[in-house]
Amino acid sequence: MLRAAARLALAGGLWAAAVPAPAPAQESTTVGGYGEIHYTNSRGRNTPAEVNLRRFVVYLAHTFNDRLAFRSELEVEDAQVEGGSSGGEVALEQAFLDYRVSAALTVRTGLVLPPVGIVNETHEPPTFNGVDRPAFDHDVIPTTWREIGVGVVGRLPVADGWNYRLYLVNGLRADGFSAAAGIRGGRQKGREASFANPSLTGRLEWVRPAGGLRIGGSFWYGGTTGGDTLLGTGSFDAPIALLSADARYDRGALAVRAVIATLSVRDADTINALYGSAVGSRIAGGYVEAAYNVLQVMAPTTSQRLSAFVRHERYDTQADVPTGTARDRGFARRITTFGLAYKPTWNTVFKGDYEVLRTAGGSREGETLRLGVGYQF
Partner 1 sequence: MILLFLAGLALAQGAPPAKVTASVRRIFGPATDVRLLPVGTDTVLRVARGDSLLGFAVVRNVRGKDQPITFLVAIDPADRLKDVDVLVYREPYGGEVAYDAWRRQFRGKSAADSLRVGREIRAISGATISVHAVTLGVKQLLADLTHWHQTGAIR
| Residues within the interface to partner 1 (CB under 8 A) | 2, 5-6, 9-10, 13-25, 30, 32, 59, 61, 63, 66, 69, 71, 98, 100, 103, 106, 108, 122, 127, 153-155, 160-161, 163, 207-212, 214, 248-250, 252-253, 255, 257, 293, 296, 301, 303, 305, 346-347
What is the Cα–Cα distance from 226 to 165, expressed in whole angstroms?
A: 25
3-state per-residue secondary structure call for 281-334: CEEEEEEEEEEEECHHHHCCCCCCEEEEEEEEEEEEEEEECCCCCCCCHHHEEE
What is the Cα–Cα distance from 18 to 254, expressed in whole angstroms?
A: 45
- Smallest gap from residue 118 Cβ to partner 1 (A): 8
In terms of CB distance, is 16 or 326 closer to partner 1?
Answer: 16
Report strand pairing: 68-77 vs 105-112: unpaired
CB 296 within 8 A of CB 243: no
Select from 245, 102, 215, 106 the least CA-distant residue to 167.
106
* CA torsion through residues 113, 142, 129, 373, sign: negative
CB 319 within 8 A of CB 333: no
- Smallest gap from residue 64 Cβ to partner 1 (A): 12
Contacts of 233 (CB under 8 A, 6+ apart): 225
| Cα 134 → chain centroid | 11
In terms of CB distance, is 23 or 326 closer to partner 1?
Answer: 23
In terms of CB distance, is 127 or 277 closer to partner 1?
Answer: 127
In terms of CB distance, is 47 or 122 closer to partner 1?
Answer: 122
Select from 172, 175, 178, 229 the least CA-distant residue to 195.
172
- Smallest gap from residue 266 Cβ to partner 1 (A): 32
- Smallest gap from residue 303 Cβ to partner 1 (A): 4
- Smallest gap from residue 204 Cβ to partner 1 (A): 14
- Cβ burial, residue 259 (10 Å; 0-12/13-18/19+): buried
In terms of CB distance, is 32 or 352 closer to partner 1?
Answer: 32
- Smallest gap from residue 165 Cβ to partner 1 (A): 9
Select from 53, 12, 13 the least CA-distant residue to 34.
53
In terms of CB distance, is 30 or 47 closer to partner 1?
Answer: 30
In terms of CB distance, is 119 or 179 closer to partner 1?
Answer: 119
- Smallest gap from residue 183 Cβ to partner 1 (A): 24
CB 365 within 8 A of CB 357: yes
In terms of CB distance, is 5 or 51 closer to partner 1?
Answer: 5
- Smallest gap from residue 113 Cβ to partner 1 (A): 11
